[in-house]
Amino acid sequence: MLQLAKNLRQAGAARVTFATTVHGLTQIKTFPSLDGLYFASFSDGFDDGIKHATNSQDMLSELKRAGSQTLTELILTFSKNCHPVSFLIYTLILPWAADVARYMSIPSENKPPSSIQLPGLPPFETEDIPSFLLPNGPHSSLNPVFQHHIQVLEQEPSPRVLLNSFDCLEEEVIAAIGNINPIPIGPLIPFALLDKNHQSDASCGCDLFEKSTEYTQWLNSKPKRSVIYVSFGSIAVLQKNQMEEMLLGLIGTCRPFLWIIRSSDNKDTEFEEMVREKVNKEKGLIVPWCSQMEVLAHESIGCYMMHCGWNSTMESLAAGIPVVGLPQFADQTTSAKMIEEVWGNGVRARVNEVGIVEAEEIRRCLEVVIGSGEKGQEIRSNAKKWSGLALDAVKDGGSSHNNLKAFLENVTTSAKMINGVFDEGAENKTKDATKPNENSKN
């Protein structure tokens, strides 16, 4: 945060004040000498430092109580001294600072630590963290739901959690949460991907929307690994300006693309009419829905531009299709991080200052993944590697196959034992009911 304050001043901010707790300010041994950079403190209720025995929950409660009051007083002091605060930037541990800013009618921005480290995972920046975990994120209301899940698991004597993943993909992560007994049984994909004799099982389940039938013939007419498949799942709704940027980026590649635009995304025909004006059906096809695994398994597909939802991420890994990720919310940002930096089977497109991925960035990412460069070859090689490992995991004798069998056997055994107890109890009750009452008289 201090480095941020310095950068803001050097970037041209007229006056920047770095405010921290009373005790925190005493811990700064050397103050940077920079005109326009000032220092101030507010009390968090622990001016002499936090005692080791202090309960963390009590500490946070006191920090919020005392900090809210003293930060408000500090801002009022600045105003009285003719230096009103025009913007407040705060760290992840001080979500209540946003309430203070709102009360004082000051715009605010959350500035979490530069990165966090979790067991089994690489360092995460703010943009990599699931949106429902950010204290002032748009989906923070979901946080209690996940907290409840954890509380329920903690109360279980022998918890078990089935994962749509496979051992070698997330080995360290799975080991890090061993206390909840995770059971990887994925990727959960149709058998047609494993055995061509199972073509009746080519879809992952029921289709949420009525699918088109024309795309299959269209894909059949395209060369191998030439088509860009674009789909953002069944929930995400893209802004119109983002869709326009995507269209321009796709056209810029001069490659054929199959784009899934749900009817709920596009209630009028304005956007599709614009597409028809800019690209003919030979180069780009838009359909309302499709059987995704059928498409991903088609030999003409060379790249998948997606939202990085977990199911779609697993399906792309199983199919061996490299990815361009445009994550929207929830854990999609985390999946995009893993795709680009850990598994190496794709890249993540970056947004501009207003949260839009521009056409040139989309075109660049697609060319990296599907083009002939060295990076693209590496990505496609990784995608092929993970596909082999994913399919091995779900085949007979594979890790996920064995995990599922063991789980089922355990459940079956437990059910038999419970039923046996119930049967024995019922039998004893029947015998007791047929015994003559010793106290009764004939």
Q: Give, as one character, the DSSP assignment of residue 114.
A: S
CA distance 231 to 307: 7
Give CA 378 to chain center in angstroms: 24
Whether the CB-CB separation of 324 and 366 falls below 8 Å is answered with yes
pLDDT at 129: 86
Q: Are 139 and 117 in contact (CB under 8 A)?
A: no
Higher-scoring residue by pLDDT: 150, 17: 17
pLDDT greater at residue 393 or residue 208: 393
Q: What is the mean pLDDT of residues 314-329?
A: 95
Please report the pLDDT score of residue 217 as a whole number.
92
% of the chain exceeding 90 in pLDDT: 38
**Residue 145 pLDDT:** 72
Which residues, in sequence order, are CB contacts of 430 under 8 Å at separation 6+? Answer: none
Residues forming beta bridges with residue 183, ordered by sequence position: 162
Range scoring the smallest mean pLDDT among 137-141, 152-156, 335-339: 137-141
Long-range Cβ pairs for the range 101-105 (8 Å, 24+): 103/72, 104/72, 104/75
Measure the CA–CA gap between 314 and 164, rounded to whole angstroms: 8
pLDDT in tens, 24-59: 888 776 787 788 889 999 998 888 887 654 555 677
- Whole-angstrom distance, CA of residue 156 vs CA of residue 2: 44
In sequence order, what E strands does 28-174 have?
37-42, 88-90, 108-110, 161-163
Res 182 pLDDT > 60: yes
pLDDT tens by residue, 353-388: 888 999 999 999 999 999 999 999 999 999 999 999
**Measured between alpha carbons, how far is residue 374 from residues 368, 369, 380 in Å?**
9, 10, 10
pLDDT over 70 at 441, yes or no: no
At residue 176 the predicted structure's pLDDT band, cuts being 50, 70 and 90, is: very high
Q: DSSP string of 355-424?
A: S---HHHHHHHHHHHHSSSHHHHHHHHHHHHHHHHHHHHHSTTSHHHHHHHHHHHHHHHHHHHHHHHHHH
CA–CA separation, 153 vs 66, rounded Å?
34
Within the chain, which residue ranges are assigned CATH 3.40.50.2000?
Answer: 2-49+58-111, 202-394
Task: With CA atoms as reference, report the closest residue to 89 among 39, 33, 23, 16.
Answer: 16
- Percent share of the chain, pLDDT over 70: 79
Rounded Cα–Cα distance for residues 159 and 348 (Å): 35
Nearest to 18 by CA among 28, 295, 250: 28
Helix axes 399-434, 374-394, angle to 10 degrees: 30
H runs (alpha helix) in 156-211: 171-176
Q: Using one digit for the tens of pLDDT, what is the confidence trace for 69-119?
A: 999 999 999 988 888 888 888 875 687 888 888 888 887 666 655 678 888
Position of tokens 């869709």? 243
Task: Tell me if 83 sits within 8 A of 15, measured CB to CB.
Answer: yes
Domain 202-394: CATH architecture, name and number where available: 3-Layer(aba) Sandwich (3.40)
CATH architecture of the domain with range 2-49+58-111: 3-Layer(aba) Sandwich (3.40)
- The beta-strand segments (E) located in 148-299 are 161-163, 182-184, 227-231, 257-260, 284-287
Find the radius of gyration of the CA atoms of the chain. Answer: 29
- Is there a contact between 289 and 210 (Cβ–Cβ < 8 Å)? yes
The region, left, alpha or beta by phi > 0 then psi within -120 to 50, assigned to residue 137 is: beta
Q: How many helices (H) and strands (E) does the chain have?
A: 15, 12
Tell me the pLDDT tens digit for each residue of 4-24.
777 677 667 778 898 999 988
Q: What is the DSSP string of 69-126?
A: HHHHHHHHHHHHTT-----EEE-TT-THHHHHHHHTT--EEE---S-B--TTS--B-G
* Mean pLDDT of the chain, nearest integer: 82
Is the bond preceding 159 in cis, omega lying within 30 degrees of 0? no
Residue 227 β-bridge partners: 301
